[in-house]
Amino acid sequence: MLKAALRQWRLQSVNEQNNKTGRRPFFKSGGAAKKPAKASAAKPAVTSAKSAPAPKTKAQNRPAKSAQNAPKAKDAGLYAKLDTAKTEVLEVLEESILGRPKKQNSGRAKGGAKKEPRESRRTPLRIIPLGGLLEIGKNMTMYECGNDAFIVDCGLAFPDEEMPGVDVVIPDFTYVERNKDKIRGVMITHGHEDHIGGIPYLLKTVNLPIYGTKLTLGLVEGKLKEHGLLGKAKLNVVKPRDVVKVGCMSVEFIHVNHSIADACALAIHTPAGVVVQTGDFKVDYTPIENEIIDLARFGELGSRGVLALLADSTNSERPGSSETESKVGESFDPLFKRAEKQRIIIATFASNIHRVQQIVNAAVRYQRKIAVSGRSMINVVGKAVELGYLTIPEGILIDIDMLPRYRDDQIVLITTGSQGEPMSALSRMAMGDHRKVSISSRDFIIISANPIPGNEKTVNRVVNELMRLGADVIYEKMYEVHVSGHACQDEQKLMMALTRPKFFIPVHGEYKHLKKHAETALSMGIPKDHIILPELGKIIELDGVDAKFAGSVPAGKVMVDGLGVGDVGSIVLRDRRHLSEDGLLVIVATIDRATGQVVSGPDVVSRGFVYVREAEDMMNEVRKIASDVLDSCRERNIKEWGTIKTKVKDAVSDFLFHKTKRSPMILPVIQEI
């Protein structure tokens, strides 16, 4: 009787609790939950972050369990729903009367520790780096999930000393071409060349919609116009917190600070989880545009769970935090005072509109007019003024042709060339080749930028030439005329702390930068086996539980030389380097087709090897060696041109190396009559 009464009390207690919460009594049958309607496929659309739902996982799409399948009263799950006092009484009575041991609290293991929810594998996400790894520049990443894909950024890099004659370097688009039918668009984080410079070449291959903020697309428009593609391009302006739907994924734009306005990070919502790609960023609490990085949104994403973080590694070797851009404006004041009666020339990155705005503000304070030099500087300043990102009071901006009408102390000239580029405006001024500006002791020149790794020699060359002409040149770090636009270690740690990613993937930088960033992540408590050092072209696959490399795709460098894209490869570069190092020797001879007799020559032409008039004896020996080889071929009845050229080349090459210890490129030219 006592046992029956206890069971009846338990049933009554549970039903009372269910009545309070609006649930049906557990012992009554209930209808099965309806299955959710299947979502129809939609084209890419831009919505706000609040209205755009995150993609549902398989677990979310499963129908709810029916009330018939609700757990029985004996199950531990229902004990948690009882009133605390009544639960304690029941457990004591069960232990003493029914002889059952006291049950543990639901969802908790022995010792009171909460059990971790069991992870489930989801539709895998594939992250494919196509540029921006183990290098500075040409950033490009492709995301794939199911039959949908999109691209983040498409930049370029500038050639190094191993690429003579090359204009720019862009990513390899082979994999993009193969998968063009499932690519829904290109998401651009900001308007720097290493993130947008390759877009015209990509659109010539695959015409895809482009998504970016207003200034970013304004700069893209200028590039497309130069390539005659503006009319065909599909440009879509987005704002921070907007969300673009791309098949089963969606991309949310998040405002960040950088050395260019309108920069954004991306939160990529996928069935496998949320992936955050920071793009280039820094944390600036006093930015020029008065809008700090959206730390709150990163924190919200982190609290909900971030599967992976792809973060900018450029400054991963620098401790502390980057300086605020506002500090540069403060540094301009004493320098403008120091210039006094001199003309001020400031070289900076054309895209750094914040820096240009501070130069404008200083010029207004010291009652100077502003002129602009350099094609990219003119284009960017014009576009920034048009879109409202740059404010220049009326009457301050003058044409460069009007410089002679003003005294030196009335002028500030803003120009390109802070990296010592040979064709930039500042370089041409230094070499005396600029048509409208001549440098003299009346000039006070400020280089408001740090050399990009690899550009130190070219910058020093320009500085030396400017000083030879008598100008005062300010370029040292101690004057604080430049701050970085990339996050240092403390800012990188803050990003990790806010997003709390399960997996960490450092991007944007050389191997040493990626490695150092990985060490920072390790110090933040991210497990070593959850830190992935990516490689160009290697697919990273995430399924919500594990991360692994899953094959590779074609990726690398494509060189642009003039109008030629990809027609300059390793063999051409090898020949160019050979020519630049040892020069060229051309041997020309004419032979009789019937007899094989030498009719004319051989003549020797030297380019970049030796000056012929000062090496006539050696050139005569070369002619004799070539003639002897041709005679030997005739006597042995060798008539194949390829064989004859090879024998001439080998004989002359051996002689010249023995004579000079140099190996010029030898080009035999055989004509028949």
Q: Which residues are known catalytic residues?
A: 312, 486
Q: Which two tokens stand for residue 108?
A: 């908790």
Task: Give the position of tokens 């929810």.
Answer: 117
Query: Is there a contact between 145 and 273 (Cβ–Cβ < 8 Å)?
Result: no
- Cα three-residue angle 397-401-405, rounded to 5 degrees: 80
Residue 671 and residue 673: Cα distance in Å, rounded? Answer: 7
Q: Is 486 known as a binding-site position?
A: yes
Name the 3-class secondary structure at 611.
coil
- R_g of the chain computed on alpha carbons: 35
Checking 137-142 for CB contacts under 8 A at 24+ apart, the result is: 137/169, 137/193, 137/194, 138/169, 138/170, 138/171, 138/194, 138/197, 138/198, 138/557, 139/194, 139/195, 139/507, 139/508, 140/171, 140/198, 141/277, 141/310, 141/507, 142/175, 142/176, 142/183
Q: Where in 508-546 does DSSP place strands (E)?
A: 538-542
Query: Is there a contact between 621 and 652 (Cβ–Cβ < 8 Å)?
Result: no
Name the 3-class secondary structure at 551.
strand
Is residue 164 reached through a cis peptide bond, with omega within 30 degrees of 0 on the bond before it?
Answer: no
Q: Is 483 known as a binding-site position?
A: yes
Residue 498 and residue 505: Cα distance in Å, rounded? Answer: 16
Query: Is there a contact between 415 and 372 (Cβ–Cβ < 8 Å)?
Result: yes
Relative to beta strand 125-131, strand 538-542 is: antiparallel
Strand order in the sheet with 557-561: 168-171, 557-561, 564-568
Residue 378: enclosing H or E segment and its boundaries?
helix 375-387
Ramachandran quadrant class, 562 (left: phi over 0; alpha: psi -120 to 50; beta: rest): left
List all residues 6 or more positions away from 504 whose beta carbon is below 8 Å from its beta carbon.
308, 309, 311, 496, 518, 521, 526, 530, 531, 532
Task: Give the position of tokens 């709150």.
Answer: 296
Residue 281 and residue 312: Cα distance in Å, rounded? Answer: 7
Residue 73 and residue 77: Cα distance in Å, rounded? Answer: 8
Q: To the nearest 10°, report the CA torsion of 387, 391, 395, 400.
A: -70
Q: How many CB atoms lie within 10 A of CB 454?
A: 12
CA atoms within 13 A on the CB side of 587: 27
Task: Give the position of tokens 């006070």.
Answer: 444
Q: Is 96 known as a binding-site position?
A: no
Checking 70-79 for CB contacts under 8 A at 24+ apart, the result is: 70/26, 70/30, 71/26, 72/26, 73/10, 73/11, 73/14, 73/26, 76/103, 76/104, 76/105, 76/106, 77/106, 78/14, 78/26, 79/103, 79/105, 79/106
Q: Is 578 known as a binding-site position?
A: no
Q: Is 600 known as a binding-site position?
A: no
What 8-state DSSP symbol labels residue 67? G
What 8-state DSSP symbol labels residue 350? T
Residue 333 and residue 340: Cα distance in Å, rounded? Answer: 11
| Burial track 58-84 (b if 16+ CB lie within 10 A, e otherwise) | eeeeeeeeebeebeebeeeebbebbee
Q: Which residues are annotated as a binding site?
A: 482-486
Q: Which residues are annotated as a binding site for substrate?
A: 482-486
